[in-house]
Chains A and B, each alone.
Chain A
Amino acid sequence: MLLLEIKNLDKIYSSRLGLNKVQALDSISFSIEQGEYIAVMGESGSGKTTLLNILATIDRPTSGEVILEGENILGLKQSQLSAFRRDNLGFVFQDFNLLDTLSIEDNIYLPMVLAGESFGDMEERMKALTKRLGIENLLKKYPYEVSGGQKQRTAVARALITRPKLVLADEPTGALDSKSSEHLLELFSEIHKGGQTILMVTHSIKAACHASRVLFIRDGKIFNQIYRGVNSYEKMYKKISETLTSLQVGGEF
């Protein structure tokens, strides 16, 4: 089943007087199936963050369409956007973006509280989630009292508690050490196996290897894509690094 369709997305940044124009996205089109785990790779400045921001409805494209389950989300009014984000999307950021004012538990509750859910529902979901994520003993602590990996797992719990249609992850392993990264990626795979659709922007080949499909972006265009399919981890790793190399030397496939 098709979850998300992206059609001819253009994003042009121009300076105030319109003298300097930068094309961040150049007619990007692709679609995401329900339950897919997609990694988006590309160099800095390739446009992957712009793409993520547009999907997150934080930024708007110059032209094109983003269709989630048949509804064009670019048609939403400004006032509807936050509710839309809250109900349909879950976010995991590189620098966690947890609130130091809230305990781990309350950080996880945050999107549900904002959505006005009853406390009983929240508590039930939170208990199940935190057990799965292995942070059930940290609930009363504060973000500045736990490790990076634990912070990121809290952020994942926060992203998942609303049962979003799509989880958007922006370099989720970027601020973690290798052990925590590994742990987190396993967690993502597990969540994916549970049927969650995930789109992850990453620099890390290791991270991308876990995805079911890897999209490569260069100069605002989709350059190539690799399906995991039946490939082994090692093969996937090799394929991705080869693609990245050709991305850097500027070759074509």
Chain B
Amino acid sequence: MVKKKKKRHLLPVLAINGILKNNSIYGPYIFAGAFAVFVFFTLSSIIVNDLVYTLPYSGYIKVLMMIGLVVLGIILVPFLLYTNSFLIKQRKKELALYTILGLGKKHISIMLLIETLVIYLVVLFGGITTGLVLGKFMFILLLNLSGLDLHIQFELNGKAFLNTMVFFLILYLFTLIKNLVSVYRLTPSELMRSHKENDREPRFAVLRGSIGVIVLCGGYWIAINSKVDGFIFTNFFLAIIFVIIGTYCIFKAGLHVLLTKMRKNKRFYYKAQNFITVSGIHQRINKSSTSLSNMCIYSTMIIITLLCTVSLFFGMTHIVNYRYAYDVEMIFENQVTSSIPMENVKQFNKMVYIDLSLVQEENHFSVSEDEYAPKEKVRFLTQEQYEEFGNESLNLEDGEVAVFTNGPDLNFKEIHLGDQTFTVTEELEKIVGVNKSYGNVYLNVIYVILKNEKMVENTFHELGIDGKLAYKTKYIVMLNEENKVETIEKLSLWTSQQPGMLSFDDVISGEADTKSMAGGLLFLGIFCGIVFLICFLIIMYYKQISEGHDDRYNFWVMQKVGLSDGEVKSTIRRQIMTVFFIPLLFATIHTLVAIQMIVRLFAVIGLFEESVIVLSSIGVIVFYIFIYMFSYLKTSKTYYRIVRM
């Protein structure tokens, strides 16, 4: 009875001691966990706060925060499993000692259970407390970035607590199960044996490497060539998966092939520094290549997250400026009969037109019944309507058209509408109230200007569209800066009272809308960026620690056989430099390819200024190189310390 009681106390003590004694490795693990809880909790709190949705322009926030939560969840699973496997490896000896001293596997399992529970509680407590303290500021930051009303309170909601608790409980249970399985599978002697054996040489390295290259190129190909359509996210996801798999394969096989080559070059290999470095990396090729690949993947994620965030921040005004060549746009089914309130109006234009969605093949346009066929928006207007809109006059004849697009130039000599052929006399540079951007590939509208209404009717008849032509009327208004908001409100009210009203859009709400979307993305970008960075730093730190322990014995022996202190240092530096740039190099290449896709995705939300994205990318990459070097130097101090203990 007494014995049992003692044991019951012993296990928690051992468990807590296990964490405290290893605080240099458990510390970062717990910190990362707590930070993840903090972000998760904050995002959940925002999502469940119903008040947010009463705000105007807050539509994007919920969707964005949900996406953020999902991304965070997806990233955390492999990260926690990876770091956890590192932790348990570091402690195998200790656990083996316990088994030898008489703790059964059952006791060790209970100990691990207690440990996981303690970590879970600490992480949860730390993260939620931070969330409670900082949540309000985070909320204000989000509202501020999104340009939303600041009067809303940050509400605490039981659902956010519950979500966070359950999600992380599942995560940590996962790690616990993994640890239990690995403990049950091993015998004490296996546990005791320090990882002395070399990693098995990767089999079929060349084949594996080739597959890696093919998969990676496949990923790149998808990223470069995928079009913005319904499959864009599937493609994006596929590209990411391919690139990740490709990276792992290439790192593993490539490193092996490279090192084997180095070893075969005797003159190179049998030089003091190369000798130790090359054999050292080759020994733990699996571990090295995994941690290098992880570093590469996380680096890529950090760079891309930051890049998108920064691009968006600087691109926001471009989005609004491009879209709003006017202050107000009102579209009606027909011409409005009542008079428009004209006070405060600087400029006023009216355009009558018909929109069709047509299938485009080069300069052939035709009607398709297929709902899913990709279609282009083609806007027809007559010469007269075009001129009435405030443009210069054209002198079109029968069989002649003028064209315009707000995207890249069409460069058509002639245009086929159904079976009819028209000569393109002119491709217009501009149309009043529409901005042109060569980067606009996806949101473009093709304007076709015909001689007169009769021509339009004939054309439509040939295309197979009969009956009364569905003309729309668009008014665009430029306003004086003075009392702009009030005028817009007035116009909006007036529009809503008119029969046949189709839409009302104005620059103020457009700005607010864009800001709320971009602000939400910025907010997410900042926090996901920080979470990725923390993950990355911890992976790097653990890599240094585990390699430090691996190499300590080697350096100790070599010092005995005559390696001087200075040589130890320069060898370590060599070792670090050899693999230092590989993840960074690949991350940069991945990013350069991803930029193609990012440009296209940004075009969907109306950011066509590639220069913004390119400049942001350069800035972010340079910035990241500094962060990378800084953290490598910092964490390699740990390596030095362990090696030279």
Contacts and interface: CB of A to CB of B under 8 A. Distances in A.
Nearest to B275: A113
A78 interface: yes
Q: Which of A99, A109, A122, A144 has the most chain B CB atoms closer than 10 A to its own CB?
A: A99
B272 interface: yes
B554 A106 contact: no
A101 B280 contact: yes
Contacts, number: 75
A113 B197 CA distance: 23
B197 A144 contact: yes
A97 B271 CA distance: 21
B643 to A, nearest CB: 14
Contacts of B271: 113, 116
A111 B562 contact: yes
B3 interface: no
A101 B198 contact: yes
A100 B561 contact: no
A110 B558 contact: yes
A114 B198 CA distance: 22
B546 to A, nearest CB: 15
B561 A158 contact: yes
A97 B554 CA distance: 9
Contacts of A119: 266-267, 270
Contacts of A93: 560
Interface in B250-282: 266-267, 270-272, 275, 279-280, 282
A82 B271 CA distance: 17
Interface string B150-193: 00000000000000000000000000000000000000000000
Interface residues of B, number: 25
Interface string A57-79: 01000000000000000000011
B557 A97 contact: yes
A192 interface: no
B559 interface: yes
A101 B278 CA distance: 9
Contacts of A86: 561-562
Interface residues of A, number: 32
Nearest to B571: A114
Contacts of A109: 270, 275
Contacts of B567: 82, 114
Given A97-B557, A116-B272, A144 B562 contact: no
Given A101-B280, A113-B270, A119-B267, A142 B558 contact: no
A97 B196 CA distance: 13
A141 to B, nearest CB: 11
Contacts of A78: 565
A82 B565 contact: yes
A83 B563 CA distance: 8
B480 interface: no
A81 B564 contact: yes
Interface in B526-560: 554, 557-560
Interface in A3-55: none
15 contacts: A58-B560, A82-B564, A85-B561, A99-B558, A101-B198, A101-B282, A106-B275, A110-B558, A111-B561, A111-B562, A113-B270, A114-B272, A119-B266, A142-B198, A158-B561
**Shortest beta-carbon contacts, A-B, top 6:** A86-B562, A82-B564, A101-B283, A85-B562, A101-B279, A119-B270
